[in-house]
Amino acid sequence: MNSWANIKTIAKRELGAYFTSPVAYVFIVIFLLLCGFFTFRLGQFFERNDASLLSFFVYHPWLFLFLVPAVGMRLWSEERRSGTIELLLTMPITAWQAIVGKFLASWLFLVLALALTFPLWISVNYLGNPDNGAIFCGYIGSALMAGAYLSIASMTSAMTRNQVIAFIVSVVICFFLILAGWQPVTTLLDSLGVVWLRNLVASLGVMTHFDAFQRGVIDARDVLFFLSLIGFALFSTGVIIRSRRAG
């Protein structure tokens, strides 16, 4: 119970830090604008003549590729740069609680940004009779994917005091996770004929696991995939922080 209180304290501070700087509002505005652009222009929301948010969700892996690392890059590198990491890690909390607290705060922030796309959901309901269950699944999947990207950004930001490097490295890693399950890559690996490699790579792909959510299916294996990706990346964050405390 005590550790939960610590996590909450850390998360509260972190979330507060997002909203006291203009970055949070800028981020949310950009996120919403891009969502609109992707959905209506590229996704041809109206032309599809289909009451669903498929054209909204389908671009999320790409949209998050840049936006989520931008949110996560400061998590630990900023602590390192300003030296506050020395305060944080000498307080009577474990590194775990700090890592989870910070992660949850920025995840909550992303979920909030995601929730602010609700006008889309209202308009699609106004225009037609969509499958709201499927839309809900899409949101769940989207939030999980954002969490997975974020945990990777947390890991890369623990490595360096430079936010730009943290951003670039996490974009690259996330990009690989997208490519891994992407149709053309799978086809390419198929042509190589090494089946286990193809399956391994494909199983790491974010796309494969996100697809089902868009279609309105919540598969425990997909949820487990995202959660274990988050768990793994946060664990690595802990290892990196422990080994590079003084650096």
Partner 1 sequence: MIKVENLVKTFGTKRAVDGVSFSVERGEVLGFLGPNGAGKSTTMRMITGFIPPTSGRVLVGGFDMVEKPTAAKRLIGYLPENAPAYSDMTVYGFLSFAAEVRGLRGSAKKQAIHRAVEMCFLEPVLHQTVDTLSKGYRHRTCFAQSIIHDPEVLVLDEPTDGLDPNQKHEVRGLIRQMGEKKAIIFSTHILEEVDAACSRAIIIDRGRVVANGTPAELRRRSELAGAVTLRVSGVNGAAVRERLSQLPTVKRTTILEEDNHAVTARAFPKSDVNGVLARSIAEAMQGWRIEELHTEEGRLDEVFRSITMPDTAETQEASKKK
Ligand X SMILES: Nc1ncnc2c1ncn2[C@@H]1O[C@H](COP(=O)(O)OP(=O)(O)OP(=O)(O)O)[C@@H](O)[C@H]1O
Q: Which range in 15-23, 125-133, 193-201, 202-210 contacts partner 1 by CB under 8 A?
A: 15-23
41 binds, among partner 1, ligand X, none (CB under 5 to 8 A by kind): none
Q: Is 239 in the site for partner 1 (CB under 8 A)?
A: no
Q: Is 166 in the site for partner 1 (CB under 8 A)?
A: no
Site for partner 1 in 101-140 (CB under 8 A): none
190 binds, among ligand X, partner 1, none (CB under 5 to 8 A by kind): none
Residue type, 65: L
Q: Is 221 exposed, middle or buried (0-12, 13-18, 19+ CB in 10 A)?
A: exposed
Q: Is 247 in the site for ligand X (CB under 6 A)?
A: yes
Q: Is 194 in the site for partner 1 (CB under 8 A)?
A: no
196, 59, 141, 163: CA torsion to nearest 10: 90
Contacts of 145 (CB under 8 A, 6+ apart): 60, 61, 64, 206, 210, 226
Contact 148, 228 (CB under 8 A): no
Closest CA to 78 of 134, 133, 18: 18
Distances (CA, A) of 216 to 52, 53, 54, 127: 11, 11, 10, 20
Residue from 40, 94, 140, 218 binding partner 1 (CB under 8 A): 94
Site for ligand X in 151-170 (CB under 6 A): none
Q: CB 245 → ligand X: shortest distance, Å? A: 9
Q: Is 241 in the site for ligand X (CB under 6 A)?
A: no
Q: CB 247 → ligand X: shortest distance, Å? A: 6
Q: CB 148 → ligand X: shortest distance, Å? A: 32
Tell me the two tokens of residue 17: 């830090």
Q: Is 83 in the site for ligand X (CB under 6 A)?
A: no
Q: Is 41 in the site for partner 1 (CB under 8 A)?
A: no
**Of the two residues 86 and 190, which places its CB atom closer to ligand X in the complex?**
86
Instruction: State the residues that interact with partner 1 by CB under 8 A.
Output: 2, 5-6, 9-10, 12-13, 16-17, 20-21, 82-84, 86-87, 89-94, 245-246
